[in-house]
Amino acid sequence: WAILIGTRTRLTKQIQVTTQHYINEQDSLQSELDLQLRLSHEHSSKIHNLEDSNSKLLKKLHELTRESSSDVQKRVTDHENYDKLEVEEEHILHRIDVNHMHIKLSGRDRLRQTYGYEMLPHVSFHLLVDEEEEKRLSFLVELAPIDSNPHAIDRVLRWVIEDRIWDNAQLSEPRSARHQQQLQTTGLKVPTTRELAFLEHHQGYGRAKGRLCLVGKGPNFVVYLNDPTPEEEVKTNESCFGQVIEGLEHLKGQANVKLDRVKVVKRYGVKGSTQYS
């Protein structure tokens, strides 16, 4: 009996120690999660305020430059007043540039806080090719490097996760496209979604075969199915955010296809993926 009681006592202590260890680990993970959520909310609030400030500055700049030719002619004769207007315009433009930089940096910080420093998640686009037969295909997109277009990437992930802006949208060949070089989204269901605060273009990440680029400030985007001509490549000034790495062949030959579902996933080698949305 003494041996049994001693064994039982040891097992009880081991269970208590193990249980306490898991409780402590759970508390630590919860604290880390709470911190990440708080920082994410802080970044979101900061970016929101910066974007609002940017909109106000652009509006002020527009009002400043919205002058009739007669008004401009009158101001030219008043050199002192005209010089003041030029200084004010330069000041606003400088503040806008600074705002854009802060928005880019805040977007980058939020991406790193949410997804880590090593690798951004991928975005999986599920296509409903034949509704009657419920035939589904998909293509996988690797997001652009975090330092290239962080504002656009951050906004794209929010469109996918928070707004689900591209679910049930159409991918169609624009009338301006030649030889089915591109497919563009249409029929978006959330017209009130916030667009980009500014066109964010990176010289090293522009139009290319399999590249996804926003139309203007979004949220519509284009998938390029072929490499651009030298003339098209020079003219482009788009906010590109991703590269198709699997399934581009599913888009070729399609004049109109439905996006059934768009998901954000983080891949772990060949073992599969963990879904974010």
Give the span between the Cα atoms of 235 and 85, in whole angstroms: 32
Residue 125 has a pLDDT of: 95
Q: Percentage of the chain with pLDDT > 90? A: 27
Averaged pLDDT for residues 50-76: 67
Number of CB atoms found within 10 A of residue 126's CB: 16
Token couple for 117:
């420093």
Residue 10 CB-density burial (10 A; 0-12 exposed, 13-18 middle, 19+ buried): exposed
Residue 55 has a pLDDT of: 82
Give the span between the Cα atoms of 148 and 206, in whole angstroms: 10
Residue whose C-alpha is closest to residue 119's, from 82, 94, 145? 145
Give the span between the Cα atoms of 43 and 112, in whole angstroms: 11
Residue 237 has a pLDDT of: 79
Question: Would residue 168 be called left, alpha or beta, if left means φ above 0 and alpha means ψ between -120 and 50 degrees?
Answer: left
Q: With 60 as the cut, is the pLDDT of residue 270 above it?
A: no
Residue 134 has a pLDDT of: 67
Average pLDDT over the chain reads 79
The string of pLDDT tens digits covering residues 80-139 is 666 777 788 888 888 889 889 989 999 999 898 888 877 789 999 999 877 666 678 899
Residue 17 has a pLDDT of: 79
The string of pLDDT tens digits covering residues 153-165 is 999 999 999 889 9
With H, G, I as helix, E, B as strand and everything else as coil, classify residue 264.
strand
The string of pLDDT tens digits covering residues 188-228 is 866 566 889 999 998 889 889 999 999 999 899 999 998 88
Give the span between the Cα atoms of 198 and 102, in whole angstroms: 12
Give the span between the Cα atoms of 113 and 123, in whole angstroms: 18
If you ran DSSP here, which 8-state letter would residue 120 be given?
Answer: P
If you ran DSSP here, which 8-state letter would residue 228 be given?
Answer: P
If you ran DSSP here, which 8-state letter would residue 176 be given?
Answer: T
Residue 196 CB-density burial (10 A; 0-12 exposed, 13-18 middle, 19+ buried): buried
Please give the C-alpha separations between residue 105 and each of 55, 81, 92, 100, in angstroms, as whole numbers: 18, 36, 20, 9
